């Protein structure tokens, strides 16, 4: 018998066997503990066991709304349900839905269901994540931003404003003509767009890509951030309770478990919305809206989209065929829980103040009123309706026909409503405007209608007053925008005659200003003064008007009204892009923004009568904004008192201003002192260092060779005291031109010239007196000419620098020329000024006479231009002409006849080989230059040439002379050659003499020149 083989399993080699088929056959799935489909529901009623099935049934039904309920486990204890239960839904999605829909669901008055997902319980509640004890969450420490109205406490009551240039924003105190004082240091990159004050000035808002930020308090600390990515538009409710922002990016919420979710203030309902209303106090969004579909794709957004009642109790937004009115005190619920249906509503406006209707009792709160209009439909006329809130009672409707547009302008106190109705003619080709003026406070709200032929483009009520101003324009096809055809009209209420009974108000136009480009009306916030601006970015202008001018009434104004209109001031501001009054109505700021163009960027501030107080041109200037103020808290009595003692206050303020100016000066001096010390300290340290390096200046000192030495010896000197010196021309002149050159030494303190020429014998003479080597001792030069010689030209030339020059009885044709390195004043009697006004004479930076400024037509009648650096500036004129021109370097006079200049004429200096070019297109002229210390004179009456370039002085003299004598007054081109300097001097003299001699027979057209006269 074979020995049984012991089977030893451990020795068995199993490696060769394949169990995979068995493994797959008997594989047991690991139970998946996935509780995603379970929810736990708390807050269910605690019911006795008997009622449990009923409860189960109710709850199953409830939860079935969200998906199939697979199982429900309701634990029992002591024969009662425990108040919570676990429900298994068909899948996780259904569980999610249950949480979303049923969490917080009110089962009945007492019971509110709390539904959570089971895994969440594990995640948050188990593992001791919740302690039994309640720990108070830390309340963030209150951070004071200081007194938000601190700026109102300024003892001097100064205004603040924001200036924004490049990326820098500064807030400044306005200090009249002094440099504005910084409230805070300018901040770079404070905003990514613009800056905005809230309506009462409490907050300053800046933009950043993620939203807007509010700043305030004394130091403009950050008070709050309002995170609304991509925000572009900003608006406020009138009492600063709410803020409205609009962003083109729809709101999105970070996913549930994202850390950013905790910071996100928006709830899931807001996803996709673009418009947000924020509570300014808490910084939380109170309501978000999607844009109405009709606005989604619109390019330009009407703004504001949400309008507010005067007290912020209601706000409203317009949708298609309906107005949504929200009650802000009732959690922004719709008023009466429904939309206010208005078929075809086109626009609406709230009254900006509480309205006192005829029916409002004295002690009642004023009413909240809004107006809206609807355009014409097939069987209904267009109409404007005035509605009272919250009753929604329609107070008044006005029916209108042929309407193309309506703009509603409320008076700031809610007394009047003006409907600017643009109507079209039957052909629909042209439009015109009717103004429908509703008086809200009168019984039944009467309507006054003003029919105009023009289209009104701007309309403004006087704040607190009854007057208004319009800008209108005739609607003509293809208008030429270059022609100013706007009309500014001023309206006032006709004064009631006789009876005191309130009659229907009637507005009449008291004055019209026509042919203007004006397009903006800016009433002072206090009324009475109104600025009318032309704001188009290229040729800005501002006119300041007073509606209650004290002086006599102009005759062209109607006597029916009390107003007396007066144009106080007119200013031009080329690049003007914006205008704004400050809150007190004391100043008007105008600015030119680099956002629009690069012309004259900067701002100007005027006082209320239009005096320029401050002007600052800042490169890259962007925006200017006055800080608004809340309404004054002074009572009527207080105000009266102030007005009464105004003089006293004014004196005090003026004194304070003067002191301030002194203080500023002192500060400036101190600052300069400091800079000076700093600089010299630094310099001495640098110099010490250089010394160490052995690099001081002395090292570079080199030999200097004096090559030439001029010695002057005085051989004889006579001294004579002359107090008064007369130059008497007692000899009839043979030459048409006479030159007198006087080297006068010593210098008389006074000098008078008397021309004793007989007028009949020298009718074409030109009298020229040149006084050289003038000395500042001579204070007065007097020239007297016989008045009968009106055809004569008279020229008085003074080189050197008298302190004043006095001419008497000079006829119109007289001129004067002054060179001097000290400021020279010209006193004239007679008509000299009329001639000189056309000429610009500058000399080494000291302007002797500056006539061209302000003259549009450059007509230099008889002009003498100065020694060194003379420009006849005719660039501003299209047709410039110069009748007579004298340039007098130290060497030369050229007196041409008629010159038409179309370009810049630069008359140069006295360099030996310098050049002057005159490019003229018509009859031309030429000119000049001189060798120093050589005097020469040429007179040319008429020279005609296309273009002449004169290169060298003496050649000019000769060529002109020769040219004229040979060609009879025509010079085509003067070439450039030059002889030796010394020689030329004499040739120059010869030239003019010869020319003079040769021209004897020519009448006016010839060249008349000569040397003559006598020295004293």
Contacts with another protein by CB under 8 A lie at 574-575, 599-600, 617, 619, 669, 672-673, 675-676, 679, 682, 686-687, 689-690, 693, 695, 697, 700, 702, 704, 821, 842, 844-846, 868-869, 871, 875-876, 904, 906, 908-909, 911-915
What are the residues whose beta carbons fall under 8 Å from the beta carbon of 857, sequence distance 6 or more? 877, 879, 880
Least separation in angstroms between residue 860's CB and another protein is 18
Nearer to another protein, 475 or 850 (CB): 850
Q: Rounded to an integer, what distance in angstroms lies between the CA atom of residue 473 and that of residue 459?
A: 12
Least separation in angstroms between residue 707's CB and another protein is 10
Decide if 594 contacts 601 (C-beta within 8 A): yes
The one-character DSSP state at 295 is: H
Nearer to another protein, 575 or 897 (CB): 575
Decide if 672 contacts 664 (C-beta within 8 A): no
Nearest 5°: CA angle at 929, between 924 and 935? 120
Least separation in angstroms between residue 322's CB and another protein is 51
Nearer to another protein, 438 or 576 (CB): 576
Nearer to another protein, 428 or 856 (CB): 856
Nearer to another protein, 476 or 687 (CB): 687
Least separation in angstroms between residue 644's CB and another protein is 44
Both tokens of 685, joined, read 């340290």
Least separation in angstroms between residue 695's CB and another protein is 5
Nearer to another protein, 669 or 728 (CB): 669
Q: What is the CA radius of gyration of the chain?
A: 46
Least separation in angstroms between residue 856's CB and another protein is 10
Q: Rounded to an integer, what distance in angstroms lies between the CA atom of residue 530 and that of residue 492?
A: 13
Nearer to another protein, 298 or 685 (CB): 685
Nearer to another protein, 82 or 166 (CB): 166
Q: Rounded to an integer, what distance in angstroms lies between the CA atom of residue 950 and that of residue 947?
A: 10
Strands in 128-282 per DSSP E? 160-165, 168-173, 181-182, 187-188, 195-197, 204-208, 211-216, 221-227, 233-236, 242-246, 275-279
Nearer to another protein, 279 or 906 (CB): 906
Nearer to another protein, 369 or 880 (CB): 880
The one-character DSSP state at 18 is: -
Least separation in angstroms between residue 675's CB and another protein is 5
DSSP string, 723-778: SEEEEEE-S--SSSEEEEEEE--S--SEEEEEE---GGG-TT-EEEEEEES--TT-
Least separation in angstroms between residue 857's CB and another protein is 14
Least separation in angstroms between residue 574's CB and another protein is 5
The three-state secondary structure class of 622 is: strand
Q: Rounded to an integer, what distance in angstroms lies between the CA atom of residue 201 and that of residue 154?
A: 14
Decide if 346 contacts 357 (C-beta within 8 A): no
106-131 in b/e form (b: 16+ CB < 10 A) is ebeeeeebebbbbbebeeeeeeeeee
Q: At what angle do helices 953-967 and 981-998 cross, to 10 degrees?
A: 20
Least separation in angstroms between residue 795's CB and another protein is 23
Least separation in angstroms between residue 960's CB and another protein is 20
Least separation in angstroms between residue 669's CB and another protein is 6
Decide if 217 contacts 211 (C-beta within 8 A): no
Burial class (CB in 10 A: 0-12, 13-18, 19+), 685: exposed
DSSP string, 532-561: EEE-SSSSEEEEEEETB-SSPPPTTS-TTS
Nearer to another protein, 275 or 576 (CB): 576
Q: Rounded to an integer, what distance in angstroms lies between the CA atom of residue 638 and that of residue 163?
A: 34
Nearer to another protein, 267 or 903 (CB): 903
Least separation in angstroms between residue 876's CB and another protein is 6
Least separation in angstroms between residue 934's CB and another protein is 14
Nearer to another protein, 107 or 904 (CB): 904
Q: Rounded to an integer, what distance in angstroms lies between the CA atom of residue 725 and that of residue 749?
A: 9
Q: Rounded to an integer, what distance in angstroms lies between the CA atom of residue 180 and that of residue 221?
A: 21
Nearer to another protein, 566 or 614 (CB): 614
Q: Rounded to an integer, what distance in angstroms lies between the CA atom of residue 966 and that of residue 131?
A: 121
Q: Quick one: how far is CA 243 from the chain centroid? A: 25
Decide if 448 contacts 504 (C-beta within 8 A): yes
Least separation in angstroms between residue 747's CB and another protein is 19
Least separation in angstroms between residue 878's CB and another protein is 11
Of 829, 733, 735, which is closest to residue 784 (Cα–Cα)?
829
Q: Are strands 275-279 and 38-42 parallel, antiparallel or unpaired?
A: unpaired
Of 308, 305, 328, which is closest to residue 318 (Cα–Cα)?
305
Q: Are strands 468-473 and 455-461 parallel, antiparallel or unpaired?
A: antiparallel
Nearer to another protein, 163 or 438 (CB): 163
What are the residues whose beta carbons fall under 8 Å from the beta carbon of 287, sequence distance 6 or more? 276, 277, 326, 332
Nearer to another protein, 778 or 909 (CB): 909
Nearer to another protein, 913 or 975 (CB): 913
Burial class (CB in 10 A: 0-12, 13-18, 19+), 630: middle
Least separation in angstroms between residue 852's CB and another protein is 12
Q: Are strands 737-743 and 766-772 parallel, antiparallel or unpaired?
A: parallel
């Amino acid at each position: 018998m074979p020995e049984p083989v012991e089977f030893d399993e451990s020795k068995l080699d199993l490696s060769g066997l394949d169990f995979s088929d068995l493994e797959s056959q008997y594989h047991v799935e690991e139970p998946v503990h996935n509780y995603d489909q379970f929810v736990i529901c708390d807050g269910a009623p605690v019911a006795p066991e008997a009622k449990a099935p009923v409860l189960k049934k109710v709850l199953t039904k409830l939860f079935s709304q969200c998906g199939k309920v697979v199982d429900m486990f309701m634990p029992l204890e002591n024969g009662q349900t425990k108040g919570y239960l676990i429900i298994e839904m068909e899948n996780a999605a259904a569980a999610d839905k249950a949480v979303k829909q049923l969490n917080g669901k009110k089962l009945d008055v007492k019971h509110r269901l709390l539904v959570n997902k089971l895994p969440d319980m594990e995640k948050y509640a188990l593992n001791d994540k919740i302690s039994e004890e309640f720990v108070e969450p830390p309340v963030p420490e209150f951070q004071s931003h200081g007194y938000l109205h601190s700026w109102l406490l300024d003892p001097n009551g100064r205004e603040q404003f924001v200036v924004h240039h490049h990326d820098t924003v500064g807030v400044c105190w306005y200090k009249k003509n002094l440099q504005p004082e910084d409230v805070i240091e300018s901040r770079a990159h404070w905003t990514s767009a613009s800056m905005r004050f809230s309506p009462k000035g409490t907050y300053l808002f800046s933009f950043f890509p993620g939203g807007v930020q509010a700043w305030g308090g004394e130091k403009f600390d950050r008070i709050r951030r309002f995170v609304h990515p991509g925000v572009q538009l900003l608006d406020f409710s009138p009492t600063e309770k709410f803020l409205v922002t609009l962003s083109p990016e729809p709101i999105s919420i970070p996913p549930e478990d994202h850390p950013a979710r905790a910071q996100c203030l928006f709830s899931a309902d807001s996803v996709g919305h673009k418009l947000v209303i924020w509570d300014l106090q808490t910084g939380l969004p109170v309501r978000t809206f999607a844009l109405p579909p009709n606005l989604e794709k619109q390019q330009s957004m009407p703004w504001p989209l949400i309008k507010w009642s005067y007290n912020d109790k209601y706000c409203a937004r317009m949708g298609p065929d309906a107005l949504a009115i929200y009650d802000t005190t009732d959690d922004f619920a719709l008023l009466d829980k429904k939309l206010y249906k208005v078929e075809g509503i086109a626009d609406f406006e709230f009254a900006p103040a509480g309205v006192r209707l005829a029916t409002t009792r004295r002690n009642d709160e004023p009413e909240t009123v809004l107006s809206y209009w609807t355009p014409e439909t097939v069987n209904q006329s267009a109409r404007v309706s005035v509605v009272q809130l919250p009753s929604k009672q329609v107070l008044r409707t006005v029916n209108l026909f042929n309407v193309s547009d309506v703009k509603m302008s409320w008076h700031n106190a809610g007394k009047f409503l003006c409907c600017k109705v643009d109507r079209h003619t039957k052909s629909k080709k042209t439009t015109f405007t009717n103004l429908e003026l509703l008086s809200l406070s009168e019984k039944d709200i009467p309507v006054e209608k003003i029919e105009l032929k023009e289209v009104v483009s701007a309309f403004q009520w006087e704040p607190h007053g009854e007057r208004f101003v319009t800008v209108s324009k005739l609607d003509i096809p293809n208008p030429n925008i270059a022609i100013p055809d706007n009309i500014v009209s001023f309206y006032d209420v006709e004064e009631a005659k006789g009876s005191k009974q309130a009659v229907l108000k009637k507005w009449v136009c008291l004055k019209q200003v026509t042919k203007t480009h004006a397009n903006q009306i800016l009433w002072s916030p206090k009324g009475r003064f109104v600025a009318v601006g032309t704001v188009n970015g290229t040729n800005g202008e501002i006119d300041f008007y007073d509606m209650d001018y004290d002086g006599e009434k102009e005759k062209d104004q109607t006597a029916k009204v009390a107003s007396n209109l007066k144009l106080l001031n007119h200013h031009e501001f080329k690049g003007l892009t914006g205008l704004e009054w400050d809150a007190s109505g004391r100043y008007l700021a105008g600015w030119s923004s680099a956002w629009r163009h690069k012309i004259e960027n900067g701002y100007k501030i005027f006082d209320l009568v239009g005096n320029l107080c401050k002007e600052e041109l800042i490169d890259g200037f962007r925006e200017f904004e006055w800080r608004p103020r809340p309404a004054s808290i002074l009572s009527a009595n207080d105000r009266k008192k102030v007005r009464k003692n105004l003089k006293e206050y004014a004196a005090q303020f003026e004194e304070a201003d003067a002191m301030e100016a002194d203080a500023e000066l002192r500060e400036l001096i101190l600052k300069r002192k400091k800079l000076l010390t700093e600089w010299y300290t630094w310099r001495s340290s640098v110099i010490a260092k250089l010394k160490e390096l052995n690099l001081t200046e002395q090292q570079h000192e080199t030999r200097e060779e004096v090559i030439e030495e001029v010695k002057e010896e005085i051989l004889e000197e006579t001294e004579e005291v002359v107090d008064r010196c007369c130059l008497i021309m007692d000899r009839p002149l043979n030459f048409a031109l006479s030159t007198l050159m006087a080297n006068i030494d010593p210098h008389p303190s006074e000098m008078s010239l008397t021309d004793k020429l007989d007028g009949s014998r020298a009718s074409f003479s030109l009298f020229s007196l040149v006084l050289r080597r003038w000395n500042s001792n001579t204070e007065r030069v007097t020239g007297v000419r016989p008045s009968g010689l009106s055809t004569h030209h008279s020229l008085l030339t003074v080189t050197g620098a008298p302190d004043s020059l006095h001419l008497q009885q000079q006829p119109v044709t007289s001129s004067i020329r002054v060179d001097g390195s000290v400021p020279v004043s010209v006193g004239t009697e007679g008509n000299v000024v009329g001639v000189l006004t056309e000429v610009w004479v500058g000399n080494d930076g000291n302007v002797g006479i500056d006539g061209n400024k302000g003259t549009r037509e450059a007509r230099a009648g008889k002009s003498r231009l100065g020694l060194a650096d003379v420009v006849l500036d005719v660039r501003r004129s299209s047709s410039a002409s110069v009748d007579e021109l004298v340039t007098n370097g130290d060497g030369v006079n050229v007196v041409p006849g008629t010159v038409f200049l179309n370009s810049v004429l630069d008359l140069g200096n006295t360099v030996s080989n310098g050049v002057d070019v005159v490019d003229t297109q018509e009859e031309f002229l030429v000119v000049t230059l001189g060798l120093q210390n050589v005097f020469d004179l040429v007179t040319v009456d008429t020279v005609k040439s296309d273009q002449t370039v004169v290169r060298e002085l003496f050649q000019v003299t000769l060529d002109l002379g020769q040219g004229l004598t040979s060609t009879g007054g025509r010079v085509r081109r003067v070439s450039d050659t030059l002889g030796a300097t010394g020689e030329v001097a004499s040739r120059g003299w010869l030239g003019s003499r010869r020319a003079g001699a040769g021209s004897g027979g020519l009448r006016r057209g010839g060249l008349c020149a000569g040397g003559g006269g006598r020295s004293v």
